[in-house]
Amino acid sequence: MKKTLLILGAGTGGTMMANKLRKKLDADLWRIVIVDKQPAHYYQSGFLGLVFGARKPGQVAKPKKQFIHESVELIFAEVEAILPEENRVLLRPDNRPISYDQLVIATGTDISPEENPGLLGGGWQNSIFDFYTFEGAQNLHQALKHWKGGRLVMNVAEMPVKCPVAPLEFLFQADHYFKAVGLRNKVELVYALPIPEVFTRPEVVPIFEGMIEQKDVKVHPDFYLKSVDSEKQVIDSYTGDQLDYDMLVTIPTNMGAKMIARSGMGDEFRYMPVDMHTLQAEGYENIWVIGDAADLPCPKTASAIHGMSATVVENVLRLDAGKPLAKTFDGETKCIISVGGKSCFLLAFSYTQPPKPGKYPLPGIGPFSILKPTRGNYLAKRGLLGMYWNLFLPARYTPPRYTKGERNG
């Protein structure tokens, strides 16, 4: 009888895992099954492109089925719960069981606007928008097209969020967009966030602060969102501060899949505690966690997924062979931030290496510059969309690492 490798979630992490494992696991010995609740795969880095009209919906959403190797069994169903003691997962609606030998949890994170009273009130998707969802990004695009100006508040409700760079990127692009449509003098840009500085990594705070000032964004640090009054168009903080808005762009509280809590697993955000180097779930020998579902002190960008999936593939094989686990994941991530117009900023760091200026992929040569806005970085960002769909997801190519150390991919 074949062994089963079961993957929950067919987003970036799950899809890349399925395709990498299909190349490594003998199809005569292993069955690979992947479960997801909905059929569309989103290129999430493209959501901001949707907001500002640089991308069309068809470029950032495609059928999941198209990117998963044909010999991987793809099931569309919602997971009721994981029964880790029985090595089984139950699927909705009829608790159909799937047994596994090894399990990969890749169920990601989602926005939970219900966590703050009033956020889902009458203003939701009318004067309050998100861009962490495909629908939200499209609605915000439409709203911006018809907006006459006023006070736009970008608010992060609670940390941690999936991508801490995204609100800054939104503001930089908003400044550019409003200038381009001749509205900038009628728009006040405000950034209210629940941390003391504009970014989580102190090494790059001065750079981002400079950009924020240059783009005339007013910052309200340490703003801990309590509730929203969408009739009066005011947000309230726990410290008694109030900010009024004409348009509120929110990053609501981010939380993991409800299935994690139904399984009696996960932390207060429904994320899975894992070993930060092996990605093995704490307390479960044959469960691995990849992407946003993991409670890891690093961003879970698609670029981090390259390193994560390499480590998990290796450890699936090692566990099966009874060998010691590889402790190779080092938290490396790279992200390209659009700062408006045809200029982008490249950021790269890991658990141990802070962001610092340099060139990528060839040290000293580049052609891409780290911590510096350039047109070359912009061209790289433009090219990423095609690479994501055609090379990264099918596991045909892994981009070079930036930080030193053993290569993961």
Partner 1 sequence: MDDEDRNQSKFDGQGYLLDHTTWTRQVGELLAEELGLELTEEHWQLVEYAREVYCQTHKTPTRRKLVTELGVDPQDLFVLFPSSPMRKLCRVAGLPKPKNCL
Q: How many residues bind partner 1 (CB under 8 A)?
A: 20
Instruction: Give how far Cα 64 sits from Cα of 98, 306, 348, Å.
Output: 21, 18, 29
Annotate each residue in 253-292 with x if it binds partner 1 (CB under 8 A) or - if it does not, as one string.
--------------xxx---x-------------------
Residue with tokens 């199809």: 27
Annotate each residue in 158-197 with x if it binds partner 1 (CB under 8 A) or - if it does not, as one string.
xxx---x------------------------------xx-
Annotate each residue in 43-82 with x if it binds partner 1 (CB under 8 A) or - if it does not, as one string.
----------------------------------------
* Exposed/middle/buried for residue 306 (C-beta within 10 Å: 0-12, 13-18, 19+): buried
3-state DSSP call for residue 320? helix
> Are the C-beta atoms of residues 71 and 32 closer than 8 Å to each other?
yes
Is residue 201 close enough to count as binding partner 1 by CB under 8 A?
A: yes
3-state DSSP call for residue 211? helix
Cα 369 from Cα 358, distance rounded (Å)? 6
C-alpha dihedral sign at 6, 330, 201, 368:
negative
Q: Which of positions 333-392 make contact with partner 1 (CB under 8 A)?
A: none
Contact residue for partner 1 among 145, 146, 182, 239 (CB under 8 A): 239
**Nearest CA among 187, 200, 177, 129 for reference residue 349:** 200
The backbone torsions φ and ψ at residue 81, rounded to the nearest 5 degrees and listed phi first, read -165, 160
C-alpha dihedral sign at 292, 298, 300, 306:
negative
Is residue 4 close enough to count as binding partner 1 by CB under 8 A?
A: no
Shortest CB 376 distance to partner 1, Å: 25
- Of residues 211 and 298, the one with the C-beta less far from partner 1: 298
Is residue 299 close enough to count as binding partner 1 by CB under 8 A?
A: yes
- Of residues 30 and 271, the one with the C-beta less far from partner 1: 271
Residue with tokens 């045909």: 396
Is residue 114 close enough to count as binding partner 1 by CB under 8 A?
A: no
Contact residue for partner 1 among 117, 142, 213, 238 (CB under 8 A): 238
Annotate each residue in 7-26 with x if it binds partner 1 (CB under 8 A) or - if it does not, as one string.
--------------------
Cβ–Cβ contacts within 10 Å for residue 102, how many? Answer: 23
Binding site for partner 1 (CB under 8 A): 158-160, 164, 195-196, 200-201, 222, 224, 226, 238-239, 267-269, 273, 297-299
